[in-house]
Structure formats: C-alpha cells, structure tokens
Amino acid sequence: MAQWPRIACLIGVSFASFVSTRAQDKSPSAARPGDQAFVNWIADGGTSRSQRFSPLDQINVENVATLTKAWEARLGGGLPSSTPLVIDGVIYAHLAGYDIRALNAATGQESWRYTYGTPAAPARSDAPAAAPAGRGGGAGGGGRGAGVGRGLATGNGQLYFGTRTGELVAVSATSGKEQWRSPVEESEPFDRTVQKAGAIIAPPVFVKGLIVTGSNGGDAAYRGRLVAVDARDGKERWRFNVVPGPGEKGHETWTGDGWKYGGGAPWLTGSYDPDLNLLYWGTGNASSDFSGGARKGDNLYTASIVALRPETGELVWHFQTTPHDVWDWDAAYETILVDRPVDGTLRKLLVQPNKNGFMYVLDRTNGKYLGAWKYIQNLTWTSGLDDKGVPQNRREPTQGAPIVICPDYFGGRSWNQAAFSPVTGLIYNHGSERCAEFTSVPEEPRVGQRFVAGAQRTIEPISGGPIVGHIDAIDPVTGRRAWQYPLKAPLLAPLLATQGNLIFTFDNGATALIALDAQSGEKLWSTPLDLTRGGAISYSVNGKQFIAILSSSPDGAVLTAYSLPN
C-alpha cells in the first residue's frame, strides 16, 4: 500500500471540531452541548459531517453499567433499518413501508403517525395528492409495506424520505401531514433506452434549501445520478450524472456503449461542509459488476468520491478509489468529515472506510490523496496502493473458472456507518473477514435489469477460521489501530461515539446492544435486543441523556430508549 508522508500527530483535539457543525442547514436547534434544553440528532450521521458522534457525557464509562430501559414503544411494521432523528424533544422513527412515528423523546408517548399510501387511497384525506396520475405510492403501486424505510432528512420544518419507486416525499414535522411527492427518478427529459427509475433506499441530504438524493442500480443496466429538488415543492433543480454521457467530462473513460449501462449509483447518503460549501458523496460500483470488457477505461465517476457545489451540482473534484471496478467495490459509503493535524498543521480531512477493504483519507478542500490502510486482514484483490492511491497488481475475476479473491463481494464491510470521536481522535469502524470464488460470465445488458455478468460464492477467509467480524479503533491520520473488538459475525448496525468515551452498537452475533470503552475497547455494558440494522443515537431532553435504537420483534418494530436511573 501507499507509504504515508511523515505526520506529526498531536495529542488531544479541540471540541470545537464538533461545535463547528452548528445549524449549518438551519435545521431546528442543531446540537450544541450545554446551552439549550434539547440536544438533537438532526441527520442520519448526527450532523452533516456524518461523524455519528454525540457531545453528551452524562452517560459515561463510569456509570454506563447502570444504564436501564427508560421507555419502549411498539410501533408495528417490519425489520427496521433506520436511525431515528430527534428535534427539540420529539423523536422520529422511519419504519418499513415508509411509515413515520413521532413520539415524545422523554416518555415515548406517540404524538402523531404518518402512514404512507397511494394517491388513489391516501393515508390522510387532508394530504395533497402530489404524485402524478397513474403512479402508486408503494413499489409498483403496492402501497405500504413495499419499502425498507432507511431513514429521514429534516429541514424547513419538514421530514423527507425516498421510496422504492424513485419518489421523494415531504411530511410536516409538526403534524405528520404529507406536503408533496416528487418522482425525481423519472423527470423529463429522460431517455428510457439508457435510464430506468431506481429505488431511493437511503436518507437524502437537506442543504441550502435543497433535498439531494441518489438511488440504487449499481448492479443493473442503469446510469447512476444525484438529483436535487427544491425542499419547498419538490421541483428538480439539478442532476449530476455519475456516468458521464457524450460531451460530458469523464466520458472519455468509457468505451463503446458501456456508459449507457454503467452503474455507479450513489445509493447511500452524502455529507456537507458549510465552511467550504461542498457536498460530498460516494458513488457505487460499475456494472456489469464482474466483467469490464465492454467498458474499458477507468469508468468515471463510478467507485469514486465526488465533491459538488450544492447550488448547481457542479463537480469541484473527484477521487476514484477503484478504477475500472470488476469486483463490486462500491465507494458509496459515508464520507466522514474531520479536522486533524497533519505534519503539525490542522487539515480538513475526509475519511471513508471503503468496501474494497481500505480506509481512505483525502484533503476535502481539493480531493488530494493523503493515504490509506487496510482495515481487514483478508485482502488479496490488490497487492497495495501506490502513492496516488491507485491499486497495484490487481487480481480480477476470470471467465470460465472461479478465482479466489478477498474480500467477497459484500466487501470489507457493508453500508453500516462508522463513527468518529473528536475526544479520542479515532475512527470506529467494523470489518468482515471472508473471501469468495469469483467467476466472470459474458452477459448482454437489458435496460434497468440486473447486470452482474458473473457470480461469486462466499467462502471462509484464507487466513483460516470461520467468517467473523470485528470493530476497530483507528487513528485516521496514521492508520494506527488502538484496539480491536472481535465479533462472532459481521456487524449489521452502525456505530455511535459519545463524549462520555463510549461506543454503542448492535452486536448481531450476541443479539445485544453493547457499550464499549472508546479508549480501550473493553465491553462495559450490554442488554438483549432483537435484530436491527438501524443505528443507536444519543440525545437529551431537559438535561437527561438517552440512548435510543430501533429493533424488531415478532409483532413489528420497537423503539427503545435507555437512560441512567433517577
């Protein structure tokens, strides 16, 4: 891998790196510790920096062992995959089928509920029927229960989410009344020979009066893009094509008609730096996934991190983590914004734990590659990265015969977010140890249909032993691992870091919510919890700190909040 430049790592980080997130998007009462009745969780990653960090320390390493259940709300719906939001004492849960529940964050008492329905049978008689005639609200018009519901964005007094049919929906945060629907994935003009609606399966981003979203489709004959709409009415303002067409910069990195079906779907959530006024987003893998013969070249801007002007969608810089991807190595994961000293100078950094098994560190002002390191043991698809971050000695799928490559196509980790603590200066990330037999198979594209051109069979890691996971605490500047916590199975849930020097996450191998010491990795507390793919959050109401998480039960989703005994 690339050799790091000489770096002087200063001990201790000013808490200002968190406070500077302020109310950058003018969301209600963005979190500022100690000066208000409420400390909130206003975005999927906590704030637009995607650090998944809470400034609260009432619950800490000294007393977390006494943490108890404060309240529990049974909400119905299927397996939850979302992180709740908290705004001024109200907690919002996004459920399967896109339903929303608003509850008192101190007691769990329900304030209102929104049930996602179709225009033909609206959930509320007073909600505007904003979807075009003939378009159902659920998948294929199937109504509620048809979508996952992975989370919400908030701004302008509203909540926003995307659907499996490529719509964005706005709901009043105070009443639960639907405000508008916008079918952003089928805006005109749009060429059905090279495009098809994708599912919006992650929370959008609210920035400067706009709602920005991507969609899935990286494993299909599909051309990924980011779309921005006006938060007031859902009207489209701009779109950025991840796969550039003729006349667009980057189109020269594609051959033939490969660009028409090139994938690159930015299917997860971006981040935003208000000081630089830059929107950052990771993009998906190129398709066909395991065969690149019909798309020779680097295939920009797939498997890349892009920085855009939020007002226009103009591309400011890009960094491609996996040029000419033939393994399904999405770079669609979170882009964590941190400020850390490098060579004695405080730098604005972007950190991404990538699916390909490397954690990348970039200068977020210009996209310059500063370094990377392996966060998993079993990594054989490349011998390492050069000083520009380009993979060397690639081990690629072959036609006709399987070849063993590590990791498997689930990657070094999946979409579950890492966390950063400005208290310790460490990134808390999870890794999966597993390999696969990859095979490339010729396949003709069919617009919008699955386009993988191969297969893979997951096997145990070449290092020996069963398929396992681990949580790692890593210095994002030096790559030094401070500690590792073993898991019996790869992690499903995001991580949460707090000012109380704690790390919370759901351990699916133990079926429990756990708390670790952020400095040492020692497990300090756990409580049984049914399955979840959602992330824990921390917030306070009138000076009392809570930890909350969505989980499943036989009769549907459950939202549980924990606090210290009175």
> What are the residue numbers of the active site?
328
Q: Concatenate the DSSP letters of all residues of 433-467 into one string.
A: E-EEEEEE------BTSB---EEEEEE--TTSSS-
Give the pairing of strands 496-498 and 53-54: parallel
Backbone angles phi, psi at 44, to 5 degrees: -55, -40
Give the pairing of strands 496-498 and 391-392: unpaired
Which pair of structure tokens corresponds to residue 462?
A: 């070449």
Bridge partners of residue 560, in order along the sequence: 72, 549
Closest CA to 320 of 291, 297, 289, 336: 297
Peptide bond into 554 cis (omega under 30): no
Q: Distance of CA 173 to CAs 50, 269, 327, 521, Å? A: 22, 21, 41, 38
Which pair of structure tokens corresponds to residue 531?
A: 């399955």
Q: What whole-number distance in Å separates Cα of residue 447 and Cα of residue 312?
A: 28
Give the pairing of strands 384-385 and 419-421: unpaired
Single-letter amino acid code for the residue at 151: G
Closest CA to 33 of 43, 23, 19, 21: 19
- 520 CB neighbour count, 10 Å cutoff: 14
- 537 CB neighbour count, 10 Å cutoff: 25
Which pair of structure tokens corresponds to residue 99?
A: 């339903």
Closest CA to 270 of 556, 44, 497, 487: 44
Q: Tell the burial category of 134 from Cβ atoms under 10 Å away from its Cβ (0-12, 13-18, 19+).
A: exposed
Backbone angles phi, psi at 159, to 5 degrees: -110, 145
Backbone angles phi, psi at 531, to 5 degrees: -55, 140
Tokens 């708390």, located at residue: 515
CA 131 to chain centre: 27
Tokens 């065969």, located at residue: 291
Beta carbons of 67 and 562 less than 8 angstroms apart: yes
Backbone angles phi, psi at 338, to 5 degrees: -135, 155
Q: Distance of CA 258 to CAs 249, 444, 530, Å? A: 16, 11, 44
Tokens 């909400």, located at residue: 75
Bridge partners of residue 455, in order along the sequence: 439
